[in-house]
Structure 1
């Protein structure tokens, strides 16, 4: 990799992403050892101190295992990694990983929506209706995408389950950084708002069974557009 001058405030973040990308794209395959720290630091144009901090993060994420006297070994991230890897995997893990994230989005999302339908407060219902109206009036696909993400955050909050909230945040943090590649369902905000309306109305009506069915339909439809299986009509 070419040496790159990195901003001091974010050098460890950027370095972690760079090494992580090289691991996920096969430069350092599972089971192999990373080069010695002196060589590795030089190849990325950073100090060994910055490299050490980055290696700690990569180990915490489950991408490497570091042992004194042995060095850093690339692990099988599917066996050792956690949800914190999702943002990195979405960027560099390929579209097969995106399929997995979208599948998890549908299965997990429908359960969260079902729970929200029984626990949402009037304030949360009002917030969802406001977001739905804003979505229909969005001026761009990117604006629509961000508003839709806010809807999911409110629904997760309405579930009153901290783990669901954190998982939704993790999934959104994974796909929003590459959101420009997944704008299919957001090109027609009015149509998207129409698709989302059934799910939100079911939540606001405290209809758990219907809300889950509407959620599965919504996530399946938008997921297909995100993957490019269909094209929006002009």
Structure 2
């Protein structure tokens, strides 16, 4: 990891650990350059990236202000958080599964409506999947990206692309269970049968039911504390 990336990671870690509270100001460029022994142009670049990632609000001629990243952040913030964990928090996987309930059925429906032969070809690959979490995680990511692309709505693809650094990491945790792997395999096969008929409405209903089931399967393994623990104890994890 180069020095600039290392400093960026240190600043994000400091925010996650509460060393910089939401609404507080961080040090000036000059002070940060001295603290991290790095040039001011590099500090300025780091602050710009943290601003784009939703971590900071920059104000000309004034110190940067720390955002409440849960409410002032964006997709980049989510990816940043997950990338700084060796293990993705279980509750975070739950939040992502909940997001998929709203998102996935829409691009599945359009993909089947517009490109159902290609959907069939994609899903036919599930017949020969080795039964391992790694393979299922990689294949499911491939399925989601291609279905989004086949929906011919580029916004679906852009949203998924934002999760690329984190998706397989989260999917690996989900597919550790052989029961969940079997449930997904059954879903791929049912969706392929529906796609063969070109029935986009049924495809949407099937996808929605599976996303709800995935959420429930994961939710059932979490304790009450994990489900309500929106603000993780970052100091115990990082």
Pairwise TM-score range, normalised by the shorter structure: 0.7 to 0.9
Q: Normalising by structure 1, what TM-score?
A: 0.78
For residues 127 and 7 of structure 2, the distance between their equivalents in structure 1, rounded to whole angstroms, comes to 41
**Alpha-carbon distance between aligned partners in 2 of 1:185 and 1:71, rounded to the nearest angstrom:** 47
1:194 correspondence with 2:186:
yes
1:101-140 equivalent positions in 2, closer than 5 A: 101-130=96-125, 132-134=126-128, 137-140=129-132
Quick one: higher RCO (CA 8 Å, sep 6+), 1 or 2? 2
Of 53, 68, 75 in structure 2, the residue corresponding to residue 61 of structure 1 is 53
Question: Aligned residue for 1:82?
Answer: 74
Aligned pairs, how many? Answer: 219
Partner of 1:145: 137
1:204 and 1:172 map into 2 onto residues whose CA distance is 29
> CA 1:224–1:43 in 2, change beyond 3 Å: closer, same or farther?
farther
Mark the CA change 1:196 to 1:42 in structure 2 (over 3 Å): closer, same or farther. Answer: farther
Given that residues 112 and 200 in structure 2 are in contact (C-alpha distance below 8 angstroms), is that contact kept between their aligned partners in structure 1? yes
User: For residue 51 of structure 1, what is the aligned residue in structure 2?
Assistant: 43
Correspondence for 1:220: 212
Distance of 1:182 and 1:226 partners within structure 2 = 7
Residue by residue over 1:186-210, the C-alpha shift from the partner in whole angstroms, topping out at 9 and shown as x without a partner, is 6764553123321232233211221
In structure 2, stretches of 5+ residues that fail to align are 223-238
Root-mean-square deviation (CA), in Å?
2.8
Corresponding residue SS for 2:64: strand
Q: TM-score, normalised by structure 2?
A: 0.77
Unaligned residue ranges in structure 1 (runs of 5+): 1-6
| Residues 165-190 of structure 1: per-residue CA shift (max 9 Å, x gap) | 11122234433345444334567645
The CA distance in 2 between the partners of 1:47 and 1:25, in whole Å, is: 25
- Aligned equivalent of 2:227: none
TM-aligned CA deviation for residue 152 of structure 1: 0.8
* Partner of residue 63 from structure 2, selected from 71, 75, 88: 71
Q: Which residue is equivalent to 1:36? A: 28
Contact 1:31–1:73 (8 Å) recurs in 2: yes
